[in-house]
Amino acid sequence: MQAIDVAQRYFDAWQRHDGAAIVATFAEGGTYNDPATGQPLSGPAIAGYAGGLWAAFPDLSFDIISVAPAGDGMVAAQWLMRGTNSGSMRGLPPTGRSVALPGADFIRVEGGKIRSVQGYFDMKTFSEQLGLQIVVQPYTAGPFCFGTSTSVQSGKRTRPGAFSITALQVRSDEEVEHIRAYSRSIAGDMLKMSGFIGWVGVLLGQRMITLTAWENLDDIRQLHANGPHQKAMQEFFGPNHYVGGMTSVWIPERINAMWMRCPHCDRMVNHERQQGRCECGELLPEPLPYW
């Protein structure tokens, strides 16, 4: 069988959303790699990766623009991936946006089976088409550390009566993703809890910090019930995870009033003391959430 025919079987399996058929085109120990895999994949991991894409993009398809032999069992292919993000991707809710992502595969064939696929596409273009933020910054610069953050808010404008703060140090990017999955699940649970105001998660390299605002101290005890938070704590004290970390509960000594700028006279006004109306007589905007 010619190398280009093997490549066509591989493309056909992708079009059919058939993970087992994709894996069947690979030689034993054959690998797949692209900018999103993080490392070369082999065997069932290839089918798992493809399944994750199909779950995120149920209508995923590829327009094969060109396929040509490149000598010595190599096939070069240019494609355009199309699909709508209507399913969860890496634990995040779907964006509902469609992508038309150009890319290329270089497929090495030996003995009628694929030895390796090296895929190329622009992750920046992919992320932008999904409406995702692109953050380019150093990990550190002198005494400064840089990272990313996530926020979940209940919409309540209640002044916080207590904060729970957790800090974890992990060992790898894989552990970062593992804890992020826990954090998303925990934050989803907290949205259903009484007294929950808002949650902020911060990632600085491999240091992960969460800050959660509650109406009252007793509200925090809800986290001790069965659920993802309790499972995360059991895992923390078990083997093979984390460098170290701490949990804590903080009671604020003083949280000052929420001030809002009057859109009419441009004066900054204590919203609570003025009962929502500026001294000029105009109504003030709704106060911002404290957290």
Residue type, 179: I
The confidence score (pLDDT) of residue 14 equals 98
Q: Do the domains 3-129 and 140-250 sit in the same CATH topology, yes or no?
A: no
3-129 CATH choice from 3.30.1240.10, 3.30.479.20, 1.10.150.120, 3.10.450.50: 3.10.450.50
Give CA torsion, residues 73, 77, 59, 135, to 10 deg. Answer: 110
For 90-148, the DSSP string reads TTBPP---EEEEEEEEEEEEETTEEEEEEEEE-HHHHHHHTT-------SEETTEE--E
The confidence score (pLDDT) of residue 193 equals 94
Locate 55 and state its tokens: 């779950």
* Per-domain residue ranges of the chain: 3-129, 140-250, 257-291
pLDDT tens profile 257-277: 999 999 999 999 999 999 999
Q: What parts of the chain have a pLDDT lower than 50?
A: none
Question: Of 142, 62, 66, 67, which Cα lies nearest the Cα of 99?
Answer: 62
How far is Cα 213 from Cα 247, in angstroms, rounded to an integer? 14
The confidence score (pLDDT) of residue 153 equals 94
- Considering only the C-alpha atoms of the chain, give the largest distance between any 2 of them, rounded to a whole number of Å: 84
The confidence score (pLDDT) of residue 238 equals 86
The confidence score (pLDDT) of residue 199 equals 96
Question: Of 226, 231, 233, 156, which Cα lies nearest the Cα of 196?
Answer: 156
The confidence score (pLDDT) of residue 184 equals 86
The confidence score (pLDDT) of residue 242 equals 86
Name the pTM for this structure. Answer: 0.70
How far is Cα 14 from Cα 33, in angstroms, rounded to an integer? 15
The confidence score (pLDDT) of residue 234 equals 86
Query: How many of the other CB atoms lie within 10 Å of CB of 105?
Result: 22
- Three-state DSSP string of 220-278: HHHHHCCCHHHHHHHHHHCCCCCCEEEEEEECCCCCCCCEEECCCCCCEEECCCCCCEC
The confidence score (pLDDT) of residue 132 equals 87
The confidence score (pLDDT) of residue 180 equals 87
Contact 241, 235 (CB under 8 A): yes
Q: Which CATH number is associated with domain 140-250?
A: 3.30.70.100
